[in-house]
Structures are given as structure tokens and as C-alpha cells.
Amino acid sequence: MSAIGVHEPSTAHGLVVQELHDLRGLERANALFEEIWGSSPGASPMGVEQMRALSHAGNYVAGAFDDGRLVGASVAFFAAPAGQALHSHVTGALPGRRAGLALKLHQRQWALDRGLRRISWTYDPLVRRNAHFNLTKLGGRPVEYLTSFYGAMDDAINGGDDTDRALIAWELNGAAAVAASASRSVPVTVPGDAAIALSVRDGLPVIGRGDAATLLIEVPPDIEGLRRTDPGAAKAWRLALREVLGGLLADGARVIGFHDRSSYVITRATTA
């Protein structure tokens, strides 16, 4: 295990990523979170006081800078099992700068330096770009479906929808995480006999077969836009994914990837 100290700033994709400790840096992170989430002042998903306490206690609070401008920030804390895991609670990044990837890779090295083996975090499994990033770019895997995990949230991102989340486990020394650290991804193979368990038809969810060994679960192209233009359809998607993906994970199925930027790939034991 490497010696634990102040983690040196790292450079990735033209960005500088470094830990944040002083109030000025934390205030900038708070303002960035408010901008990204569209929340009112004082309603950031992670406030200055919380970040200050977590940083002072030795947890992970970091920012990504583009020519001195803060373009991404992430907050994580030590989790169970003790000495093995980190839980990444909030990561926000402005689009088009690859700050999210730079932060995750910095976070991975920070965790490895402290002898940790796994990072977990939650995300909305209906958001295609987040699923692609988490599963394809990073090689994380959803291991649990959490219904209405944060309760009601009426910011610009969640739009009053139920806050169902998928819990990601990122095994830091696994082949996919190692590949991600080298800017490579591990493709997922979809067998020809895979069945479609959930698909998009005219913008609405259609539940299909669930009895094959490999299943595909499609999610809508733009759930955030759908929440604004057709809340009823967005609600239908939430309930359908909760039933199909949530049910499969509860029954012991495994998510092995995200195919074609649109569909989860699931493997399950066939019934005798």
C-alpha cells in the first residue's frame, strides 16, 4: 500500500484534478453543483459545510480544473466494509470537457493509494449517457436496484420523478477498471438468442420476454426531456424499469454491460 498523504494533483485530458480543502475551493464546488443540478441557492446536493467536514476527516473531495476554471467536482466517503470501500456520493461535471472521467480516474488512484478495493455510487438507470459512462467507459456494474432512494427531489435533473437508483460497484483492480485507466473499454458481447425484456415503442416502454438466459433492457433516448414534455410517459418508464430491471436484480441476475448506448445486457439462470 502506498504511503497516505495529500494526493498530488493529476493531469488527464488537459485537466488538472486535485483535492479541495480550503473554503474558497469548496464554495466554488458548491456553486458548480447548484449550476449543474439547477437547484436554488442553499439547496446544492452537497453543501460547503458537509464538504468541509468530510475533507477535514480525510475523505475524498476533489475538483477538475480547465485552465483554472472549475469544471467538475466529486465527493466520496469511506464505506463498509471498513478499509475496503469508498462510496462516491456526488460527482458533477460540465459537458464537453471529460471532467467526469478525469475525476473518476483520480478517485480510483486515490482509493488504491489507501488500500481500497472498490468504489460504489448510485445513478439514475433511466439516463442513457450515465449508463454508458458508468458501464462502458468505467466498467462498473449495477448490483442493486434502489426504489425511491432519495425521496422526492424537484431539481432540474430529477424533475419531481421518483428517485430510483442503481447501485454501481466498481472493482478497482478488475479488468474493466484497469482498461478504463488506460482509456480503453471492454466491449460486451450480445448472443444471437438474447431476448428483449424491455423496449421503446413510440416513446413508451413495452415489456417483452424475461425467460431467456441473456436479456436486453432498453431505456429511452432522453428521459430528462421526457419528464418536461410528457410526465406521464416518464412515469411509465420509471415503473417499467423498476419492474423489469429491479425484479431481475432482486432475483440474482447480473448486468454485464450496456450495449449500443441504449440497452442493458443481463444474464440470468434459466429455469429448469
pLDDT in tens, 77-86: 999 999 999 9
The whole-model pTM stands at: 0.90
Mean of pLDDT values over 45-56: 97
Residue 81: is the preceding peptide bond cis (ω within 30°)? Answer: yes
- Please give the helix or strand (H or E) that residue 223 lies within, else none: helix 223-229
Task: Count how many residues are written for the chain.
Answer: 272
C-alpha span between 245 and 207 (Å, rounded): 11
Question: Domain limits at 212?
Answer: 195-267
What's the structural domain count of the chain?
1
* pLDDT tier for residue 4 given thresholds of 50, 70 and 90: very low
Is 226 a member of any domain?
A: yes
Is 256 a member of any domain?
A: yes
Is 248 a member of any domain?
A: yes
Closest CA to 266 of 223, 210, 219, 220: 210
Is 133 a member of any domain?
A: no
Cβ contacts of residue 169 below 8 Å, gap of 6+?
118, 120, 140, 141, 143
| Residue 78 CB neighbours (<10 A) | 18
Query: What's the pLDDT score for residue 39?
Result: 85
pLDDT tens profile 102-143: 999 999 999 999 999 999 999 999 999 999 999 999 999 999
Is 95 a member of any domain?
A: no
Share of the chain above pLDDT 70, in %: 91
Is 144 a member of any domain?
A: no
Is 202 a member of any domain?
A: yes
* pLDDT tier for residue 42 given thresholds of 50, 70 and 90: confident
Q: Are 178 and 172 in contact (CB under 8 A)?
A: no
Query: What's the pLDDT score for residue 12?
Result: 66
Give 206's strand partners.
Answer: 199
Is 39 a member of any domain?
A: no
